[in-house]
Protein backbone atom coordinates (compact mmCIF):
# COMPACT_ATOMS: atom_id res chain seq x y z
CA UNK A 1 0.00 0.00 0.00
CA UNK A 2 1.09 3.53 -0.59
CA UNK A 3 1.38 5.82 2.39
CA UNK A 4 1.56 9.49 3.28
CA UNK A 5 5.32 9.56 2.75
CA UNK A 6 4.75 8.64 -0.88
CA UNK A 7 2.20 11.41 -1.27
CA UNK A 8 4.44 14.03 0.31
CA UNK A 9 7.38 12.95 -1.79
CA UNK A 10 5.43 13.32 -5.02
CA UNK A 11 4.28 16.81 -4.02
CA UNK A 12 7.79 17.92 -2.98
CA UNK A 13 9.41 16.53 -6.12
CA UNK A 14 6.85 18.30 -8.29
CA UNK A 15 7.63 21.54 -6.46
CA UNK A 16 11.38 21.05 -6.89
CA UNK A 17 10.91 20.40 -10.62
CA UNK A 18 8.97 23.64 -11.03
CA UNK A 19 11.70 25.58 -9.29
CA UNK A 20 14.63 23.98 -11.13
CA UNK A 21 12.71 24.42 -14.39
CA UNK A 22 12.86 28.20 -13.72
CA UNK A 23 9.12 28.31 -14.08
CA UNK A 24 9.16 27.10 -17.66
CA UNK A 25 6.13 24.80 -17.67
CA UNK A 26 6.86 21.13 -18.18
CA UNK A 27 4.78 18.53 -20.00
CA UNK A 28 5.67 14.98 -19.04
CA UNK A 29 4.86 12.63 -21.90
CA UNK A 30 4.99 8.91 -21.11
CA UNK A 31 5.82 6.59 -24.01
CA UNK A 32 5.10 2.97 -23.28
CA UNK A 33 4.13 -0.34 -24.88
CA UNK A 34 5.16 -3.95 -24.53
CA UNK A 35 8.65 -4.96 -25.63
CA UNK A 36 9.33 -4.33 -29.34
CA UNK A 37 6.15 -2.29 -29.74
CA UNK A 38 8.27 0.54 -31.19
CA UNK A 39 9.00 2.93 -28.28
CA UNK A 40 12.65 3.65 -29.09
CA UNK A 41 11.94 4.23 -32.78
CA UNK A 42 8.94 6.44 -31.95
CA UNK A 43 10.84 8.69 -29.54
CA UNK A 44 13.86 9.01 -31.83
CA UNK A 45 11.73 9.97 -34.82
CA UNK A 46 9.55 12.28 -32.76
CA UNK A 47 12.53 14.25 -31.42
CA UNK A 48 14.28 14.38 -34.80
CA UNK A 49 11.11 15.50 -36.59
CA UNK A 50 10.36 18.17 -34.00
CA UNK A 51 13.92 19.51 -34.22
CA UNK A 52 13.98 19.52 -38.05
CA UNK A 53 10.39 20.78 -38.22
CA UNK A 54 9.85 20.28 -41.95
CA UNK A 55 7.92 17.02 -42.15
CA UNK A 56 5.00 17.38 -39.73
CA UNK A 57 2.36 19.11 -41.83
CA UNK A 58 -0.55 17.94 -39.67
CA UNK A 59 0.94 19.16 -36.40
CA UNK A 60 -1.08 22.36 -36.03
CA UNK A 61 1.51 24.54 -34.20
CA UNK A 62 3.93 23.88 -37.09
CA UNK A 63 1.34 24.10 -39.85
CA UNK A 64 0.22 27.46 -38.44
CA UNK A 65 3.81 28.69 -38.33
CA UNK A 66 3.72 29.10 -34.53
CA UNK A 67 6.33 26.52 -33.53
CA UNK A 68 9.52 28.57 -33.59
CA UNK A 69 11.88 25.73 -32.73
CA UNK A 70 12.68 22.65 -30.68
CA UNK A 71 16.00 21.76 -29.12
CA UNK A 72 17.41 19.23 -26.69
CA UNK A 73 17.97 20.65 -23.22
CA UNK A 74 20.21 19.59 -20.31
CA UNK A 75 19.06 16.44 -18.60
CA UNK A 76 16.82 17.45 -15.68
CA UNK A 77 17.16 14.42 -13.44
CA UNK A 78 20.56 13.06 -12.41
CA UNK A 79 18.99 9.92 -10.95
CA UNK A 80 17.35 8.91 -14.20
CA UNK A 81 19.14 7.45 -17.25
CA UNK A 82 19.01 9.71 -20.32
CA UNK A 83 17.34 8.38 -23.48
CA UNK A 84 20.26 7.74 -25.87
CA UNK A 85 18.81 9.88 -28.67
CA UNK A 86 22.08 10.66 -30.48
CA UNK A 87 23.16 7.01 -30.48
CA UNK A 88 19.77 5.85 -31.77
CA UNK A 89 19.73 8.45 -34.52
CA UNK A 90 23.22 7.46 -35.59
CA UNK A 91 22.10 3.83 -35.88
CA UNK A 92 19.23 4.83 -38.15
CA UNK A 93 21.09 7.33 -40.30
CA UNK A 94 24.59 5.82 -40.47
CA UNK A 95 26.12 4.11 -43.52
CA UNK A 96 25.24 0.70 -42.05
CA UNK A 97 21.70 1.82 -41.22
CA UNK A 98 20.05 -0.40 -38.60
CA UNK A 99 17.32 -0.22 -35.98
CA UNK A 100 18.41 1.13 -32.61
CA UNK A 101 18.73 -0.85 -29.37
CA UNK A 102 15.22 -1.35 -27.95
CA UNK A 103 13.99 -0.07 -24.59
CA UNK A 104 15.27 -2.10 -21.64
CA UNK A 105 14.58 0.22 -18.78
CA UNK A 106 13.16 3.60 -17.95
CA UNK A 107 14.87 6.65 -19.46
CA UNK A 108 14.06 10.27 -20.10
CA UNK A 109 15.03 13.12 -22.39
CA UNK A 110 14.11 16.83 -22.32
CA UNK A 111 13.21 18.90 -25.37
CA UNK A 112 12.43 22.58 -25.09
CA UNK A 113 9.85 23.92 -27.51
CA UNK A 114 9.56 27.61 -28.34
CA UNK A 115 6.24 28.72 -29.76
CA UNK A 116 4.01 31.70 -30.36
CA UNK A 117 0.71 31.23 -28.48
CA UNK A 118 -2.46 31.93 -30.42
CA UNK A 119 -4.80 32.23 -27.45
CA UNK A 120 -6.02 35.81 -26.90
CA UNK A 121 -5.09 35.72 -23.23
CA UNK A 122 -1.42 34.84 -23.83
CA UNK A 123 -0.56 35.78 -27.43
CA UNK A 124 0.21 39.43 -26.55
CA UNK A 125 3.15 38.43 -24.34
CA UNK A 126 5.14 37.04 -27.31
CA UNK A 127 6.86 33.66 -27.73
CA UNK A 128 6.90 31.20 -24.85
CA UNK A 129 8.85 28.10 -23.93
CA UNK A 130 7.73 24.75 -22.63
CA UNK A 131 9.83 21.76 -21.60
CA UNK A 132 8.75 18.44 -23.01
CA UNK A 133 10.06 15.60 -20.83
CA UNK A 134 9.69 12.35 -22.74
CA UNK A 135 9.72 9.34 -20.43
CA UNK A 136 10.31 5.96 -22.07
CA UNK A 137 9.39 2.94 -19.94
CA UNK A 138 8.54 -0.73 -20.57
CA UNK A 139 4.78 -1.43 -20.68
CA UNK A 140 5.52 -4.69 -18.86
CA UNK A 141 6.16 -2.64 -15.71
CA UNK A 142 2.56 -1.41 -15.71
CA UNK A 143 1.34 -4.96 -15.33
CA UNK A 144 2.76 -4.86 -11.82
CA UNK A 145 0.37 -2.31 -10.35
CA UNK A 146 -2.34 -4.88 -9.48
CA UNK A 147 0.30 -6.85 -7.54
CA UNK A 148 0.28 -4.16 -4.86
CA UNK A 149 -3.16 -5.34 -3.93
CA UNK A 150 -2.49 -9.07 -4.23
CA UNK A 151 -1.03 -11.45 -1.68
CA UNK A 152 1.56 -14.02 -2.72
CA UNK A 153 -1.08 -16.71 -2.45
CA UNK A 154 -3.51 -14.83 -4.72
CA UNK A 155 -0.83 -14.03 -7.27
CA UNK A 156 0.40 -17.65 -7.28
CA UNK A 157 -3.12 -19.05 -7.77
CA UNK A 158 -3.70 -16.63 -10.61
CA UNK A 159 -0.42 -17.38 -12.37
CA UNK A 160 -0.89 -21.15 -12.03
CA UNK A 161 -4.42 -20.95 -13.35
CA UNK A 162 -3.34 -18.86 -16.38
CA UNK A 163 -0.54 -21.30 -17.13
CA UNK A 164 -3.10 -24.08 -17.53
CA UNK A 165 -5.06 -22.17 -20.21
CA UNK A 166 -4.92 -23.94 -23.62
CA UNK A 167 -2.81 -21.24 -25.29
CA UNK A 168 -0.16 -21.44 -22.57
CA UNK A 169 -0.22 -25.00 -21.21
CA UNK A 170 2.42 -26.36 -23.61
CA UNK A 171 4.76 -23.46 -23.12
CA UNK A 172 4.40 -23.71 -19.34
CA UNK A 173 4.96 -27.48 -19.18
CA UNK A 174 8.57 -27.50 -18.02
CA UNK A 175 8.03 -24.94 -15.29
CA UNK A 176 4.75 -26.58 -14.15
CA UNK A 177 6.46 -29.99 -13.88
CA UNK A 178 9.22 -28.53 -11.77
CA UNK A 179 6.64 -26.77 -9.58
CA UNK A 180 4.64 -29.97 -9.08
CA UNK A 181 7.74 -31.79 -7.86
CA UNK A 182 8.81 -29.02 -5.48
CA UNK A 183 7.94 -29.43 -1.79
CA UNK A 184 6.79 -25.94 -0.81
CA UNK A 185 6.76 -26.81 2.91
CA UNK A 186 10.38 -28.08 2.91
CA UNK A 187 13.18 -25.77 4.11
CA UNK A 188 14.41 -23.31 1.45
CA UNK A 189 16.85 -24.82 -1.01
CA UNK A 190 18.44 -21.83 -2.78
CA UNK A 191 19.33 -23.82 -5.86
CA UNK A 192 15.75 -25.05 -6.27
CA UNK A 193 14.39 -21.53 -5.74
CA UNK A 194 16.64 -20.24 -8.53
CA UNK A 195 15.66 -23.09 -10.85
CA UNK A 196 11.97 -22.47 -10.23
CA UNK A 197 12.39 -18.77 -10.82
CA UNK A 198 14.43 -19.27 -14.01
CA UNK A 199 11.91 -21.79 -15.37
CA UNK A 200 9.07 -19.38 -14.65
CA UNK A 201 10.93 -16.53 -16.39
CA UNK A 202 11.70 -18.77 -19.38
CA UNK A 203 7.97 -19.58 -19.67
CA UNK A 204 7.05 -15.88 -19.56
CA UNK A 205 9.69 -15.07 -22.18
CA UNK A 206 8.55 -17.92 -24.45
CA UNK A 207 4.99 -16.59 -24.34
CA UNK A 208 6.31 -13.38 -25.86
CA UNK A 209 8.16 -15.04 -28.76
CA UNK A 210 6.75 -14.08 -32.17
CA UNK A 211 5.24 -17.50 -32.95
CA UNK A 212 3.05 -17.29 -29.82
CA UNK A 213 2.97 -13.52 -29.44
CA UNK A 214 1.15 -13.93 -26.12
CA UNK A 215 1.23 -10.80 -24.09
CA UNK A 216 2.92 -10.32 -20.82
CA UNK A 217 2.08 -11.56 -17.35
CA UNK A 218 3.44 -9.96 -14.20
CA UNK A 219 5.96 -9.54 -12.68
CA UNK A 220 7.01 -7.02 -15.31
CA UNK A 221 10.68 -7.07 -14.29
CA UNK A 222 10.86 -10.78 -15.08
CA UNK A 223 10.52 -9.79 -18.73
CA UNK A 224 12.25 -6.42 -18.57
CA UNK A 225 14.57 -6.49 -15.54
CA UNK A 226 16.14 -3.10 -16.28
CA UNK A 227 19.09 -2.63 -13.92
CA UNK A 228 17.81 -5.31 -11.52
CA UNK A 229 18.86 -8.35 -13.55
CA UNK A 230 19.98 -11.17 -11.23
CA UNK A 231 18.91 -9.40 -8.06
CA UNK A 232 17.44 -11.58 -5.22
CA UNK A 233 14.25 -9.47 -5.33
CA UNK A 234 13.74 -11.04 -8.76
CA UNK A 235 14.38 -14.64 -7.68
CA UNK A 236 10.95 -16.01 -6.87
CA UNK A 237 8.15 -17.93 -8.58
CA UNK A 238 4.53 -18.87 -7.90
CA UNK A 239 3.87 -21.97 -5.78
CA UNK A 240 0.66 -23.78 -4.82
CA UNK A 241 -0.09 -23.08 -1.15
CA UNK A 242 0.76 -25.99 1.21
CA UNK A 243 -2.15 -27.35 3.25
CA UNK A 244 -0.65 -26.50 6.65
CA UNK A 245 0.68 -23.03 7.44
CA UNK A 246 4.26 -23.09 6.11
CA UNK A 247 7.18 -22.60 8.51
CA UNK A 248 9.12 -19.36 8.23
CA UNK A 249 12.23 -21.09 6.77
CA UNK A 250 10.20 -23.02 4.17
CA UNK A 251 10.54 -22.56 0.42
CA UNK A 252 7.01 -21.17 0.36
CA UNK A 253 7.59 -18.58 3.11
CA UNK A 254 10.86 -17.43 1.52
CA UNK A 255 9.25 -17.05 -1.89
CA UNK A 256 6.45 -15.07 -0.27
CA UNK A 257 9.01 -12.77 1.39
CA UNK A 258 10.77 -12.11 -1.92
CA UNK A 259 7.47 -11.39 -3.59
CA UNK A 260 6.69 -8.77 -0.93
CA UNK A 261 10.20 -7.31 -1.30
CA UNK A 262 9.66 -7.02 -5.04
CA UNK A 263 6.53 -4.99 -4.41
CA UNK A 264 8.31 -2.66 -1.98
CA UNK A 265 11.67 -2.23 -3.69
CA UNK A 266 10.63 -2.32 -7.31
CA UNK A 267 6.93 -1.74 -7.93
CA UNK A 268 6.06 1.07 -5.52
CA UNK A 269 9.04 3.33 -6.34
CA UNK A 270 8.32 3.10 -10.07
CA UNK A 271 4.69 4.14 -9.70
CA UNK A 272 5.42 6.79 -7.10
CA UNK A 273 8.51 8.38 -8.67
CA UNK A 274 7.71 8.15 -12.35
CA UNK A 275 4.25 7.02 -13.35
CA UNK A 276 2.31 9.29 -10.97
CA UNK A 277 3.96 12.34 -12.52
CA UNK A 278 2.98 11.91 -16.16
CA UNK A 279 0.68 14.40 -17.89
CA UNK A 280 0.15 12.71 -21.25
CA UNK A 281 0.61 9.15 -22.41
CA UNK A 282 1.05 7.29 -25.69
CA UNK A 283 0.62 3.51 -25.61
CA UNK A 284 2.24 1.80 -28.58
CA UNK A 285 0.88 -1.57 -29.66
CA UNK A 286 2.32 -4.01 -32.18
CA UNK A 287 -1.10 -5.30 -33.22
CA UNK A 288 0.18 -6.69 -36.54
CA UNK A 289 2.42 -9.32 -34.92
CA UNK A 290 -0.45 -10.47 -32.68
CA UNK A 291 -2.84 -10.63 -35.66
CA UNK A 292 -0.34 -12.72 -37.55
CA UNK A 293 0.03 -15.15 -34.65
CA UNK A 294 -3.74 -15.82 -34.52
CA UNK A 295 -6.79 -15.22 -32.39
CA UNK A 296 -5.27 -16.56 -29.12
CA UNK A 297 -2.58 -13.90 -29.38
CA UNK A 298 -5.15 -11.23 -30.18
CA UNK A 299 -7.36 -12.14 -27.22
CA UNK A 300 -4.32 -12.25 -25.02
CA UNK A 301 -3.11 -8.86 -26.21
CA UNK A 302 -6.55 -7.46 -25.47
CA UNK A 303 -6.32 -8.79 -21.91
CA UNK A 304 -2.83 -7.40 -21.37
CA UNK A 305 -3.89 -4.00 -22.68
CA UNK A 306 -6.87 -4.05 -20.40
CA UNK A 307 -4.59 -4.79 -17.43
CA UNK A 308 -2.17 -2.07 -18.47
CA UNK A 309 -5.00 0.40 -18.74
CA UNK A 310 -6.23 -0.27 -15.22
CA UNK A 311 -3.30 1.91 -14.22
CA UNK A 312 -4.82 4.92 -15.95
CA UNK A 313 -8.07 4.80 -14.04
CA UNK A 314 -8.53 7.31 -11.30
CA UNK A 315 -11.31 8.14 -8.85
CA UNK A 316 -13.49 5.46 -7.33
CA UNK A 317 -10.99 2.65 -7.68
CA UNK A 318 -9.24 0.36 -5.26
CA UNK A 319 -6.92 2.13 -2.88
CA UNK A 320 -3.67 1.18 -4.62
CA UNK A 321 -4.81 2.80 -7.86
CA UNK A 322 -5.94 5.97 -6.16
CA UNK A 323 -2.64 6.53 -4.39
CA UNK A 324 -0.58 6.14 -7.51
CA UNK A 325 -3.12 7.63 -9.88
CA UNK A 326 -1.90 9.98 -12.54
CA UNK A 327 -3.31 13.25 -13.70
CA UNK A 328 -2.96 12.08 -17.31
CA UNK A 329 -5.69 13.80 -19.30
CA UNK A 330 -4.94 12.44 -22.79
CA UNK A 331 -4.07 8.90 -23.81
CA UNK A 332 -3.24 7.92 -27.37
CA UNK A 333 -3.30 4.27 -28.45
CA UNK A 334 -1.15 3.79 -31.51
CA UNK A 335 -0.81 0.67 -33.64
CA UNK A 336 2.81 0.87 -34.79
CA UNK A 337 4.66 -0.24 -37.92
CA UNK A 338 1.77 0.73 -40.22
CA UNK A 339 4.33 0.86 -43.06
CA UNK A 340 4.06 -2.96 -43.15
CA UNK A 341 0.67 -2.53 -44.81
CA UNK A 342 -0.42 -0.41 -47.82
CA UNK A 343 -2.21 2.83 -46.93
CA UNK A 344 -5.60 1.27 -47.76
CA UNK A 345 -5.22 -0.76 -44.54
CA UNK A 346 -4.16 2.01 -42.19
CA UNK A 347 -7.65 3.02 -41.10
CA UNK A 348 -8.54 -0.65 -40.58
CA UNK A 349 -5.47 -1.15 -38.43
CA UNK A 350 -6.52 1.84 -36.33
CA UNK A 351 -10.03 0.32 -36.02
CA UNK A 352 -8.62 -3.05 -34.94
CA UNK A 353 -6.68 -1.33 -32.20
CA UNK A 354 -9.77 0.67 -31.28
CA UNK A 355 -11.59 -2.62 -30.72
CA UNK A 356 -8.77 -4.12 -28.70
CA UNK A 357 -8.87 -1.25 -26.24
CA UNK A 358 -12.60 -0.54 -26.43
CA UNK A 359 -13.58 -1.71 -22.94
CA UNK A 360 -10.58 -0.22 -21.24
CA UNK A 361 -10.94 2.99 -23.22
CA UNK A 362 -14.52 3.49 -22.12
CA UNK A 363 -13.44 3.16 -18.53
CA UNK A 364 -10.58 5.66 -18.93
CA UNK A 365 -12.92 8.03 -20.75
CA UNK A 366 -15.40 7.77 -17.94
CA UNK A 367 -12.63 8.87 -15.62
CA UNK A 368 -12.01 12.03 -17.62
CA UNK A 369 -9.05 11.23 -19.87
CA UNK A 370 -9.54 11.94 -23.56
CA UNK A 371 -8.49 8.97 -25.68
CA UNK A 372 -7.94 8.23 -29.35
CA UNK A 373 -6.58 5.33 -31.37
CA UNK A 374 -4.77 5.38 -34.69
CA UNK A 375 -2.26 3.51 -36.82
CA UNK A 376 1.15 5.06 -37.44
CA UNK A 377 4.71 4.33 -38.47
CA UNK A 378 7.20 6.42 -36.56
CA UNK A 379 9.65 5.64 -39.36
CA UNK A 380 8.43 4.66 -42.78
CA UNK A 381 10.77 1.93 -44.02
CA UNK A 382 8.76 1.01 -47.13
CA UNK A 383 7.05 2.59 -50.10
CA UNK A 384 4.06 1.27 -52.04
CA UNK A 385 3.68 -0.45 -55.39
CA UNK A 386 1.28 -2.72 -57.30
CA UNK A 387 1.62 -6.13 -58.94
CA UNK A 388 -0.74 -7.94 -61.25
CA UNK A 389 -1.91 -11.31 -60.00
CA UNK A 390 -4.48 -13.40 -61.87
CA UNK A 391 -5.82 -10.32 -63.63
CA UNK A 392 -6.12 -8.29 -60.42
CA UNK A 393 -3.89 -5.44 -59.29
CA UNK A 394 -2.62 -6.08 -55.76
CA UNK A 395 -1.15 -3.39 -53.53
CA UNK A 396 2.34 -4.21 -52.35
CA UNK A 397 4.92 -2.66 -50.10
CA UNK A 398 8.51 -2.31 -51.21
CA UNK A 399 11.46 -2.29 -48.86
CA UNK A 400 14.77 -3.95 -48.00
CA UNK A 401 14.24 -6.98 -45.74
CA UNK A 402 16.70 -7.42 -42.96
CA UNK A 403 19.28 -10.17 -43.30
CA UNK A 404 18.21 -13.03 -41.03
CA UNK A 405 20.93 -15.64 -40.45
CA UNK A 406 18.41 -18.08 -38.98
CA UNK A 407 16.87 -18.56 -42.44
CA UNK A 408 20.07 -20.17 -43.78
CA UNK A 409 20.20 -20.09 -47.59
CA UNK A 410 16.79 -18.51 -47.81
CA UNK A 411 18.00 -15.35 -46.17
CA UNK A 412 17.74 -11.95 -47.81
CA UNK A 413 20.99 -10.20 -48.51
CA UNK A 414 20.00 -7.07 -46.60
CA UNK A 415 20.75 -4.95 -49.67
CA UNK A 416 18.13 -5.61 -52.35
CA UNK A 417 14.60 -4.27 -52.29
CA UNK A 418 11.68 -6.63 -52.69
CA UNK A 419 7.96 -6.07 -53.31
CA UNK A 420 5.77 -7.90 -50.82
CA UNK A 421 2.04 -8.48 -50.85
CA UNK A 422 1.27 -8.43 -47.12
CA UNK A 423 -2.42 -9.38 -47.38
CA UNK A 424 -5.31 -7.30 -46.13
CA UNK A 425 -6.80 -6.70 -42.73
CA UNK A 426 -10.45 -7.75 -42.39
CA UNK A 427 -13.06 -5.27 -43.54
CA UNK A 428 -14.99 -6.14 -40.42
CA UNK A 429 -12.52 -5.72 -37.55
CA UNK A 430 -14.76 -7.77 -35.19
CA UNK A 431 -13.77 -10.91 -37.09
CA UNK A 432 -10.28 -10.84 -35.61
CA UNK A 433 -11.70 -12.32 -32.42
CA UNK A 434 -13.40 -15.22 -34.22
CA UNK A 435 -11.51 -18.49 -34.24
CA UNK A 436 -12.65 -19.70 -37.63
CA UNK A 437 -11.55 -16.48 -39.25
CA UNK A 438 -8.21 -16.37 -37.53
CA UNK A 439 -5.67 -14.35 -39.45
CA UNK A 440 -2.88 -16.63 -38.38
CA UNK A 441 -0.35 -16.82 -41.18
CA UNK A 442 -2.57 -14.96 -43.64
CA UNK A 443 -0.71 -11.71 -43.28
CA UNK A 444 2.89 -11.62 -44.31
CA UNK A 445 5.38 -9.42 -42.54
CA UNK A 446 9.11 -9.09 -42.85
CA UNK A 447 11.44 -7.05 -40.77
CA UNK A 448 12.58 -4.30 -43.11
CA UNK A 449 15.75 -2.31 -42.65
CA UNK A 450 15.35 1.39 -41.92
CA UNK A 451 14.83 3.47 -45.07
CA UNK A 452 17.70 4.58 -47.28
CA UNK A 453 18.11 8.33 -46.87
CA UNK A 454 19.64 10.39 -49.63
CA UNK A 455 22.42 12.76 -48.70
CA UNK A 456 20.17 15.78 -48.25
CA UNK A 457 17.80 13.82 -46.00
CA UNK A 458 20.70 12.43 -44.00
CA UNK A 459 22.04 15.88 -43.28
CA UNK A 460 18.77 17.60 -42.59
CA UNK A 461 14.99 17.10 -42.82
CA UNK A 462 12.69 14.94 -40.74
CA UNK A 463 12.70 11.15 -40.98
CA UNK A 464 9.88 9.73 -43.15
CA UNK A 465 6.85 8.55 -41.15
CA UNK A 466 3.13 7.82 -41.35
CA UNK A 467 0.81 9.94 -39.21
CA UNK A 468 3.41 10.86 -36.62
CA UNK A 469 2.26 14.46 -37.02
CA UNK A 470 -1.35 13.53 -36.23
CA UNK A 471 -0.20 11.72 -33.12
CA UNK A 472 1.79 14.76 -31.97
CA UNK A 473 -1.12 17.04 -32.66
CA UNK A 474 -3.36 14.98 -30.39
CA UNK A 475 -0.74 14.70 -27.65
CA UNK A 476 0.72 18.21 -27.65
CA UNK A 477 -1.23 20.53 -29.94
CA UNK A 478 -3.44 22.01 -27.21
CA UNK A 479 -0.45 22.65 -24.92
CA UNK A 480 1.07 24.95 -27.52
CA UNK A 481 -1.94 27.22 -27.98
P1 LIG B 1 10.77 -1.05 -28.10
O2 LIG B 1 11.11 -2.37 -27.48
O3 LIG B 1 9.33 -0.70 -27.81
O4 LIG B 1 11.73 0.05 -27.76
O5 LIG B 1 10.81 -1.29 -29.69
P6 LIG B 1 11.72 -0.59 -30.80
O7 LIG B 1 11.38 0.84 -30.97
O8 LIG B 1 13.14 -0.92 -30.58
O9 LIG B 1 11.17 -1.37 -32.09
C10 LIG B 1 11.35 -2.78 -32.22
C11 LIG B 1 11.50 -3.13 -33.68
O12 LIG B 1 10.29 -2.86 -34.37
C13 LIG B 1 12.56 -2.28 -34.42
O14 LIG B 1 13.85 -2.83 -34.25
C15 LIG B 1 12.07 -2.36 -35.85
O16 LIG B 1 12.44 -3.57 -36.43
C17 LIG B 1 10.55 -2.37 -35.67
N18 LIG B 1 9.94 -1.03 -35.79
C19 LIG B 1 9.63 -0.16 -34.81
N20 LIG B 1 9.04 0.95 -35.30
C21 LIG B 1 8.95 0.75 -36.63
C22 LIG B 1 8.41 1.53 -37.72
O23 LIG B 1 7.88 2.65 -37.55
N24 LIG B 1 8.49 0.96 -38.96
C25 LIG B 1 9.07 -0.26 -39.19
N26 LIG B 1 9.11 -0.74 -40.44
N27 LIG B 1 9.57 -1.02 -38.20
C28 LIG B 1 9.51 -0.51 -36.94
**Structure confidence by residue, pLDDT tens digits, 72-115:** 999 998 889 999 999 999 999 988 999 999 999 999 999 999 99
Three-class DSSP category at 244: coil
pLDDT at 391 > cutoff 80? yes
CA distance 338 to 381: 10
Percent of the chain with pLDDT over 70: 86
Check the CA dihedral 155-161-167-171 and report its sign.
positive
Atom 18 (ligand 1): residue with closest C-alpha? 38
At 85, give phi and psi (nearest 5°).
-55, -50
Q: Look at residues 340, 285, 294, 337 and name the one whose alpha carbon lies nearest to residue 442.
A: 294
- The answer to whether 133 touches 124, Cβ cutoff 8 Å, is no
Question: What is the CA 387 to chain-centroid distance, rounded?
Answer: 35
- Residue 60 has a pLDDT of 96
Q: What is the pLDDT of residue 138?
A: 93
Atom of ligand 1 nearest to the CA of 376: 23
C-alpha to C-alpha distance for 309 and 28, rounded to whole angstroms: 18
The protein residue whose alpha carbon is closest to atom 7 in ligand 1 is 38
Q: What is the pLDDT of residue 86?
A: 97
DSSP state of 85: H
Q: Are 68 and 50 in contact (CB under 8 A)?
A: no
Does the structure show a pLDDT above 70 at 319? no
Residue 11 has pLDDT above 70, yes or no: no
Give me the helices (H) in 124-219, please. Answer: 152-163, 166-181, 190-208
Question: With contact defined as beta carbons under 8 Å apart, do 187 and 148 qualify?
Answer: no
350 contacts 470 by C-beta, under 8 angstroms: no
Averaged pLDDT for residues 253-265: 94
Say how far apart CA 134 and CA 476 lie, in whole Å: 12
Tens-place pLDDT, residues 268-294: 999 989 998 999 999 999 998 888 877
Q: How far is the CA of 36 from the centre of ligand 1 (A)?
A: 6
Say what the pLDDT of residue 298 is.
Answer: 83
Spatial contact of 42 and 291, defined as CB atoms under 8 Å apart: no
Predicted confidence at residue 305, as pLDDT, reads 85
Which ligand 1 atom is nearest residue 448's CA?
A: 26
Nearest Cα to 381, choosing from 45, 32, 35?
Answer: 45
Q: Which stretches does DSSP call E strand in 376-442? A: 383-389, 392-399, 418-420
ipTM score above 0.85: yes
Q: What is the pLDDT, as a whole number, of residue 453?
A: 86
User: What is the distance between the alpha carbons of residues 68 and 214, in angstroms, rounded to a whole number?
Assistant: 44
Number of other residues whose CB lies within 10 A of the CB of residue 63: 14
From 41, 91, 449, the mutation candidate for ligand 1 (largest count of ligand atoms within 8 A of CB) is 41
> Is 58:64 a contact under the CB 8 Å cutoff?
no
Task: For residue 124, count other CB atoms closer than 10 A to its CB.
Answer: 8
- The whole-number average pLDDT for the span 54-65 is 95
| 213 compared with 223, residue with greater pLDDT | 223
Nearest CA to ligand 1 atom 14: 99
Peptide bond connecting 219 to the previous residue in cis, omega within 30 degrees of 0: yes
The values of phi and psi at residue 177, to 5°, are -60, -45
Distance of CA 30 to the CA centre of its chain: 10
Q: What is the pTM of this model?
A: 0.88
Element (DSSP H or E) covering residue 10 = helix 4-20
332 Cβ closer than 6 Å to some ligand 1 atom: no
Angle ∠(375,139,331) on CA atoms, nearest 5: 50
Quote the CA–CA distance of 460 and 204 in Å, as a whole number: 42
What is the per-residue pLDDT for 1? 38
What mean pLDDT, rounded, does the chain reach? 86
Kind plus residue range of the DSSP H or E element containing 444: none
| Ligand 1 midpoint to CA 37 (Å) | 6
Any atom of ligand 1 within 6 Å of the Cβ of 379: yes
Structure confidence at residue 166 as a pLDDT band (50, 70, 90): confident
Q: What does the chain come to in residues?
A: 481
Q: What CA–CA distance (Å, rounded) separates 379 from 462?
A: 10
Residue whose CA is at the smallest distance from ligand 1 atom 25: 337
Res. 315: pLDDT tops 60: no
Is the minimum distance from the CB of 263 to ligand 1 under 6 angstroms? no
Selection from 468, 438, 399 nearest residue 97 by Cα: 399
Q: Would the pLDDT of 3 be above 60? A: no
Burial letters 18-52, b for 16+ CB under 10 A, else e:
eeebeeeebbbbbbbbbbbbbbbbbbbbbbbbbbe
Cα within 13 Å of Cα(298), Cβ side: 22
Average pLDDT over every residue of 142-166: 91
36 lines ligand 1 (CB under 6 A): yes
Position 365 scores a pLDDT of 57
Whether the predicted pLDDT of 383 surpasses 70: yes
d(C-alpha 208, C-alpha 304), whole Å: 12
Amino acid sequence: MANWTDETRIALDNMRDSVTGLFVPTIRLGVTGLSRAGKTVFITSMIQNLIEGDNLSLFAPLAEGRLIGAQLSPHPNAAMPRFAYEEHLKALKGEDRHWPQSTRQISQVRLTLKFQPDHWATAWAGPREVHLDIVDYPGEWLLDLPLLDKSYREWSDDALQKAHAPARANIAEEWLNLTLKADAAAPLDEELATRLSNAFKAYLQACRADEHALSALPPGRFLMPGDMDGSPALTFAPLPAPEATPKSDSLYAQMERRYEAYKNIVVRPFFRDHFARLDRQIILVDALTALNAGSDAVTDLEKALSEILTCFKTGNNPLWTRFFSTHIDKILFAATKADHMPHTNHDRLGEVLGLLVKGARQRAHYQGAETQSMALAAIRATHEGEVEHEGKMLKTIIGTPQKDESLGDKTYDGKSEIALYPGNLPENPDSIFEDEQSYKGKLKFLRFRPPVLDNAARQKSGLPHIRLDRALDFLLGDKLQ
